[in-house]
Chain A
Amino acid sequence: MSTPYAKLPRWVDYGLIPAINLAVAFFVAGLVVMLVGENPLSAAVILVDGAFGGGQNIAYTLFYATNFIFTGLAVAVAFHGGLFNIGGEGQAYIAGLGVAIVALSLDSVFPWWINFPIAILASAAVGAFWAFIPAYLQAKRGSHIVITTIMFNFIAASTMVYMLVDVLKPAGSMAPQTRTFLDGAHLPKLNWLLEAVGLSVRSAPLNITFLLALVMAFLVWLLIWRTKLGYEIRTFGYSPKAARYAGIREARIIIVTMVISGALAGMMALNPIMGDQHRVALDFVTGAGFVGIAVALMGRSHPAGIVPAAILFGMLYQGGAELAFEMPNISRDMIVIIQGLVILFAGALEHMFRPWVQTVFATLAPRAAGVPATSGEGA
């Protein structure tokens, strides 16, 4: 028997319910803050102020959000195809090689606006390749993609250590990282964008990759909801049997979907490497691949949800750092707890408050909440 979920107005589905979930997450997080003897209200103030309390803070928040938009989109595209790509972390990490090759070989040759498109292609190609192997193994050999993508995270990490220590490190340097890029591989900052609305930014890493992320969010929307390929991906994701019936080839969809997903994850490497550090260092992904899973869950795999969800997580990263600095009792680990609570309530317990909201709406406006949604499942 199917659970007869009635239709709710769109703004409730996509606005009110996530807001309630978020509020509860912060409430519980507040209890945790109280537990360590700090005032949850002032903690909240520090957190929000740290994330949005000035041009500088906003720029940092958006810088982190950029990473999460890419990885969130990557996970979301795979979700639509019924695939769980846990390998965003590894795909982004290894894609750093693609960026490195372009930047190291061309930074003295071309200006940034020629190198940037080439680096986009290179990062996407390497990320896509890293996702292609697990996809091929699933499509042709039946190896489960969750397992293989996790394993490929480890392979990527080891490969990068080897590359940075033994291949890319300049002779005589002590640090496992590439040389610093020349100006030809520095991406322009977006400080002017914030300054245009009257905010002041001292120095923040927010750069043009943020705009690339927004363009990708639009392209993902176009792909999933407006193209034939997107239709096939969604059909396969909801029901492989229906896809088979409709003449959609399973192996092709698995591989194409994962390649797109990997390419999106790969582009994340551009942001810290060419936009901020101007070199490839160890662990530059710093968990963004995994946060992408939470972002996709919270954003309901829709770009219009993923961008705000990514900004929310950017806020937790940036505001959390400030919080740990201002309140010594609250360590970085506490921030991770708060992030975990947000994921728990927004992602895993998504439907916890839904029946309750439905009942409220049914009582307030019986017509708007929809008449009996009898589904055809055998009565």
Chain B
Amino acid sequence: MAEAAIELIGIDKSFGPVRANRDIHLEVPRGTIHGIIGENGAGKSTLMSILYGFYQADSGEIKVGGKPTAIKSPNDAIAVGIGMVHQHFMLVENFTVIENVILGAEGEALLNTSIAKARSELHRLEKEYGLEVDPDAVIEELPVGLQQRVEILKALYRGAEILILDEPTGVLTPAEADHLFRILRQLKEQGKTIVLITHKLREIMAITDNVSVMRQGTMVATRATARTTVEELAELMVGRRVLLRVEKGPARPGDVKLDVSGLTVKDSRGVTMVDGVSFNVRAGEIVGIAGVAGNGQSELLEAISGIRKAVAGKVLLDGSPVDVSGLTDPGDLRDRGLAHVPEDRHHVGLVLPFEENENSILGYHDEDQYVNGPFLDIPAILKSAESQIEKYDIRPPNPRLKTANFSGGNQQKIVLAREMEQDPGVLIVGQPTRGVDVGAIEFIHKRLIAMRDAGKAVLLVSVELDEIRSLSDRILVMFAGRVVGERGPDATEGELGLLMAGVEEKEAAE
């Protein structure tokens, strides 16, 4: 086995009484790609933050290149050759590529000498690793795939030998992700060490040499990727067997429940985010909207659910029009049988400081069953919350617990339970499994299928292509605010990927 680039020995980290990492041992051999997987809250990010100097471990030792090293700040990490590419890019949007690369490493009082130096260095990196990007382009004008490349360049420019990537493919199209993987392999061949944090099992299998699994703050296993399977890894992550593919029968579509035509939505800056989108959803089917994040899906959902004004277009709910160009009251839409599971459960779907039972009536707090005149009927609310908790297996089963203290998966179940238990005719769902652990994903998918089979119209928006493909009866692909194609559930990933990247319908069909 090659010499270890990083060695973590007995790392412990607590936040108050919460032990985020306990007794972690990890060895990453030089020149390999090492995957770290685990559910949300398993402690992956905490561990990497310790390695990158954001946090200090309570106890334990870090060895870099065999030498014990104290990493007290990101500067220390950079000094020993560790670079990090964050999930959310740390770039100055209105700076050029080269300005971002030298940011914090300018070196001298006058910029032009360091820029000249950086230019030749970038040129070398570009040739060596295939990281092409125009050094004078302004960041905000670059697609996300290229912005990520700038993040990698930043780390390499600072002499990183070890590169940590935190959920790097979350914002990429499948093609962009493939390109990223090619770059990572090239970096590996040049002797760099790469640590890849992800919750996508497929990526782990595709690119890593070794994989470590974390669960509840501990490192439960490390495997050579070639000698493990997706099923084994999923089981290690969750601690029990999980069903990765949803079973479902054929759809039996009925009447059109939701009919959208020519819908156009602008964001607060006046940029057209949704551009003349038309589609319908029938009772008893799931229509999935695929697309890379930021192509108008969020605005589409918000316009249909009455949170955001549309500038043009029509929406018919059960055949009668919805006033989408005025500010529709989302409460009225609920009364008409439209339930909405929003993409952002932390800020929109839930009020995190509320008790669980208070969130279980959010949006339905006007209904007779929950109120007595101007007063809330608290016993009734608690009773309904308890029944939702039982039906949706929300844990811990305590309606008086603060919502922030539930895990991501259970928080999502609180939202789903609330929206589904009102027996809506139309359910629109955004990113139902974002930040949700594997075990809960299985449950949520089954529930969505059950809604469909009960004759409800379901509109699903997700950036997880796997989710779209396994749940939807029809798939629409959005790119730059328009629906660029419709496919059946058997569409291949490659086909959808091309559409998501904006390749026109005709070209994609070839």
Contact = CB atoms under 8 A, between A and B. Distances in A.
Contact of A235 (B19, B49, B346, B362): B362
Given A6-B17, A239-B347, A374-B41, A228 B366 contact: yes
Contacts of B358: 231
A378 B330 contact: no
Nearest to B358: A231
Interface stretch (B283-291, B373-381, B473-481): B373-381
B363 interface: yes
- Counting chain B CB atoms within 10 Å of each CB, the highest count among A1, A7, A247 belongs to A247
B253 interface: no
**Ranked 10 nearest A-B pairs via Cβ:** A247-B331, A376-B408, A362-B17, A374-B41, A246-B363, A358-B16, A247-B330, A4-B18, A379-B40, A369-B17
B307 interface: yes
Contacts of A244: 307, 330, 348
Nearest to B328: A247
B455 interface: no
Given A244-B330, A246-B330, A376-B407, A235 B376 contact: no
Nearest to B381: A231
A242 interface: yes
Nearest to A236: B351
Nearest to A238: B351
Interface string A347-371: 0000000010011011000100110
Given A228-B366, A245-B307, A370-B17, A376 B346 contact: yes
Interface stretch (B119-127, B148-156, B265-273, B398-406): B398-406
Contacts of B334: 247
B17 A239 contact: no
Contacts of B371: 228
B38 interface: yes
Interface of B: 15-20, 38-46, 49, 87, 167, 216-217, 305-307, 329-332, 334, 340, 342, 344-354, 358, 362-363, 365-366, 371, 374-376, 378, 402, 404-412, 435
Nearest to A362: B17
A377 interface: yes
A198 interface: no
A173 interface: no
A197 interface: no
Contact of A379 (B38, B352, B363): B38
A228 B41 contact: no
A374 B407 contact: yes
Interface in A232-274: 232, 234-235, 238-239, 241-242, 244-249
A374 B87 contact: no
A199 B352 CA distance: 48
A375 B352 CA distance: 10
Given A228-B376, A245-B349, A379 B44 contact: yes
Contact of B45 (A228, A235, A358, A379): A379
Contact of A239 (B42, B348, B376): B348
B16 to A, nearest CB: 4
A148 B407 CA distance: 41
Interface in A202-241: 226-229, 231-232, 234-235, 238-239, 241
A250 to B, nearest CB: 10
B450 to A, nearest CB: 23
Given A247-B330, A355-B16, 10 more contacts: A1-B46, A7-B402, A7-B405, A238-B354, A241-B348, A246-B331, A246-B362, A374-B18, A376-B411, A378-B45
Contacts of A362: 16-17
A361 B408 CA distance: 26
A358 B404 contact: no
Contacts of B217: 372
A197 B449 CA distance: 69
Given A228-B375, A235-B351, A379-B45, A245 B366 contact: no
A373 B18 contact: yes
A4 B402 contact: no
A5 interface: yes
A228 B374 contact: yes
Contact of A378 (B40, B350, B376): B40
Contacts of A358: 16-17
Nearest to B371: A228
A379 B39 contact: yes
Contacts of B402: 7
Contacts of B407: 374-376
16 contacts: A4-B15, A4-B16, A6-B18, A226-B378, A228-B371, A228-B374, A231-B358, A245-B305, A247-B330, A372-B217, A373-B18, A374-B407, A375-B41, A376-B407, A376-B410, A379-B41
